[in-house]
Amino acid sequence: GGIKEKILAAKRAMVKTVILPFKNKAEIEILPEELYKDLNIIFTDSIEEIVDFVLVRH
């Protein structure tokens, strides 16, 4: 599935934070805000940022 389907699946699974590549930011911005307003979406292109977020901040 695309980004919309991934966002919907995250919401169904009660995920609060979604990490996506920056290249997908434009796709999120064209979706209705209702789909993602309750999610913390982090955009990155760096595996180091993902590791920092997952291991250090949580």
In the chain, DSSP finds a helix count (H) and a strand count (E) of 3, 2
Q: Count of domains in the chain?
A: 1
Residues in the chain, how many? 58
Q: Domain span at residue 8?
A: 3-56
pLDDT in tens, 14-46: 999 999 999 999 999 999 999 999 999 999 999
Instruction: Enter the tokens of residue 32.
Output: 């209705």
- In this prediction, residue 52 carries a pLDDT of 87
Calculate mean pLDDT across residues 47-55.
Answer: 88
Q: CA–CA distance from 52 to each of 17, 41, 43, 47, 55 (Å)?
A: 14, 15, 13, 9, 5
